[in-house]
């Protein structure tokens, strides 16, 4: 087999549901050309469809039961502390690690869940969840200064300029971040050797959380006047992303397989489902009975909550104090003031939620320190939670909030399965987002969303172009687990049998498939998740601030 190259460009969260009219109108010519000249279609994401889980699934070709990540945060195995996921939490090798071990030169830029960078046969530039610009976020370490000298600073933090105040300013800030990052990406494409190159544009996701009500006239928060004012900036943003993509594609050798994909789709959502409040209302989550916790519960019932505090501070124009609450500065002090997991009586709590996608963990004896659930009652409790979730209705209009509940073994399998949620309450993604987190953000079970109007849906985008690709092929049933084995196969490497994804043979011509049968290897995926922590206390707080800014934790 001849020496081949693969270049992957991720556009986090992009969806045909938003982009198709602009593709048809010629506003996104580079993406449209790639899709027209190659093979493409919709790409099913992971359950849950969150970047912290989806990008590791892309990278490893495995389900979360193998690689271990289901969200940006998770409860520690030996306590009830909330930990931040990171690259070392991923339990199985990434595609670039496998390719690098086989002698391929690899480059990975701005792919979520890769920090901290590790030794590799090539180069890496981390961004998301890098604590600060002072952190070591490149491999090799000297690449950091090289890029600073050649290209200027690579922005590590999503800009909040205009967020929640003026969406046009926020959109322009997102555009500028991608322009600033592109300088380093183009430098690396041109100046460094690579057989496999991966780069992810992240602001597409960040932006769509904030502006969906402006591009969707059916959204209950749609404001026609603001939409008319901001839409030119939104279109300019996507046209800029397409232009930058085109400039990068022009730097990729013609004999390269180019893949463009998103880790999940996007769409509207209208309301939060505060899952820990619901668990408490059903008696599965209990609170301490000491005077402090009783006082905090009374205040909570009266509306003293973080979400209401944000509303009050915003109304009073106290922006500095608002940022402290929003970003969790002095988080320990806030947890002392507001009702939080510090007030949960774990010895009487049978179920709790951590994460934004309906993850429910059962407090089983022998698995967690202050356990309340006898293993003999495990199945009965899961059945009871499932039945109650399926019956949950929105009091406003009677809509079903949780149409599907998955047991752990129905969606997760592999070496990390035991550490994953016991249930996933998969809400109606077009209307509700589960909001289970380490603090109780609101005293309601269901309420209108605050600060975000769009969220992750299950179907993203995939397109492939290059030698051997069947032009115009429409891919059906493609999964986010499929690109990793496809990349290895195209590079002439065997596909590990433990990978859950499949080679996308339908994307290639009959001649290519006949000349290149898929080969497999029986290498060991590993023995489970690595380190539960990679950050110092100060670094973890910086990372948690980033996650709060983006709305992923309270």
For the chain, 554 residues long, give each residue's pLDDT as a single digit of tens: 468 999 999 999 999 999 999 999 999 999 999 999 999 999 999 999 999 999 999 999 999 999 999 999 899 887 888 888 888 889 999 999 999 999 999 999 999 999 999 999 999 999 888 988 999 999 999 999 999 999 999 999 877 776 777 999 999 999 999 999 999 999 999 999 999 999 999 999 999 999 999 999 999 999 999 999 999 999 999 999 999 999 999 999 999 999 999 999 999 999 999 999 999 999 999 999 999 999 999 999 999 887 777 666 555 554 444 444 443 333 555 677 889 999 999 999 999 999 889 999 999 998 888 878 999 999 999 999 999 999 999 999 999 999 999 999 999 999 999 999 999 999 887 799 887 655 688 899 999 987 789 999 999 999 999 999 999 999 999 999 999 999 999 999 999 999 999 999 999 999 999 999 999 999 888 765 555 556 555 566 565 565 555 555 54
Q: Are 548 and 328 in contact (CB under 8 A)?
A: yes
pLDDT for res 319:
45
Q: C-alpha 452: how far from its chain's center?
A: 15
Q: Are 354 and 71 in contact (CB under 8 A)?
A: yes
The three-state secondary structure class of 23 is helix
Q: Are 265 and 458 in contact (CB under 8 A)?
A: yes
Q: Are 428 and 403 in contact (CB under 8 A)?
A: yes
Quote the pTM value.
0.92
pLDDT for res 337:
81
How far apart CA 455 and CA 228 sit, in angstroms, is 22
| Structure tokens, 202 | 């992240």
Q: C-alpha 212: how far from its chain's center?
A: 17
The total of other beta-carbon atoms located within 10 Å of residue 448's CB is 12
How far apart CA 458 and CA 480 sit, in angstroms, is 10
Q: 162 vs 174, 268, 277, CA distance in Å?
A: 10, 21, 32
Q: Are 224 and 213 in contact (CB under 8 A)?
A: no
- Residue entry with tokens 């730097």: 251
Burial of 103-120, coded b for 16+ CB within 10 Å and e otherwise, reads: ebbbbbbbbbbbbbbeeb
How far apart CA 62 and CA 377 sit, in angstroms, is 31
| Structure tokens, 6 | 């693969």
Q: Quick one: which H or E segment has residue 139?
A: strand 138-139
pLDDT for res 526:
75
């Amino acid at each position: 087999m001849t020496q081949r190259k693969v270049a992957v460009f991720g556009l986090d969260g992009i969806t045909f549901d938003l982009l198709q009219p602009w593709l048809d109108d010629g506003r996104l010519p580079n993406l449209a050309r790639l899709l027209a000249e190659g093979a493409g279609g919709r790409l099913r994401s992971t359950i849950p469809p969150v970047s912290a889980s989806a990008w590791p699934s892309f990278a490893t070709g495995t389900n979360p039961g193998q690689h271990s990540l289901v969200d940006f945060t998770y409860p520690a195995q030996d306590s009830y502390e909330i930990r931040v996921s990171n690259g070392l939490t991923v339990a199985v090798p990434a595609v670039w690690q496998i390719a690098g071990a086989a002698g391929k030169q690899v480059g990975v830029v701005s792919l979520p869940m890769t920090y901290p960078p590790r030794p590799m046969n090539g180069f890496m530039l981390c961004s998301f969840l890098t604590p600060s610009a002072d952190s070591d976020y490149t491999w090799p370490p000297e690449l950091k200064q090289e890029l600073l000298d050649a290209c200027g600073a690579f922005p590590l933090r999503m800009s909040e300029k205009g967020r929640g105040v003026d969406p046009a300013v926020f959109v322009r800030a997102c555009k500028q971040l991608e322009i600033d990052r592109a300088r380093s990406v183009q430098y690396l494409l041109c100046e460094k050797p690579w057989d496999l190159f991966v780069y992810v544009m992240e602001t597409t996701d960040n932006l769509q959380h904030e502006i969906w009500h402006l591009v969707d006239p059916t959204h209950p928060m749609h404001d026609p006047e603001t939409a008319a004012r901001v839409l030119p900036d939104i279109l300019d943003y996507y046209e800029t992303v397409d232009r930058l993509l085109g400039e990068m594609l022009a730097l990729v050798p013609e004999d390269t397989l180019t893949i463009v994909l998103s880790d999940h789709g996007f769409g509207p959502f209208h309301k939060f489902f505060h899952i820990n409040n619901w668990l408490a209302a059903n008696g599965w989550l209990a609170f301490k009975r000491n005077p402090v916790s009783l006082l905090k519960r009374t205040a909570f019932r009266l509306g003293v909550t973080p979400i209401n505090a944000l509303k009050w501070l915003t109304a009073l124009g106290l922006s500095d104090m608002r940022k402290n609450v929003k970003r969790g500065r002095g988080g320990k002090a806030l947890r002392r003031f507001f009702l939080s997991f510090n007030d949960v009586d774990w010895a009487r709590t049978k179920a709790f939620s951590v994460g934004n996608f309906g993850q429910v963990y059962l407090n089983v004896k022998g698995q967690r320190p202050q356990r309340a659930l006898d293993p003999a009652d495990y199945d009965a409790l899961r059945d009871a939670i499932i039945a109650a979730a399926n019956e949950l209705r929105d009091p406003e209009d009677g809509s079903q909030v949780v149409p599907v509940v998955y047991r752990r073994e129905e969606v997760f399998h592999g070496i990390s399965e035991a550490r994953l949620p016991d249930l996933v309450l998969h809400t109606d993604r077009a209307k509700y987002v589960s909001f289970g987190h380490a603090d109780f953000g609101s005293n309601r079970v269901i309420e209108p969303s605050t600060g975000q109007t769009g969220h992750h849906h299950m179907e993203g985008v995939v397109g492939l172009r290059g030698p051997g690709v069947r032009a115009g092929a429409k891919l059906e049933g493609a999964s986010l687990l499929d690109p990793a084995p496809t990349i290895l196969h195209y590079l002439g490497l065997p596909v590990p049998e433990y990978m859950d994804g499949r080679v996308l043979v339908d994307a290639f011509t009959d001649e290519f498939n006949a000349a290149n049968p898929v080969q497999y290897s029986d290498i060991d995926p590993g023995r489970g998740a690595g380190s539960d922590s990679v950050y110092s206390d100060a670094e973890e707080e910086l990372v948690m601030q980033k996650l709060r800014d983006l709305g992923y934790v309270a």
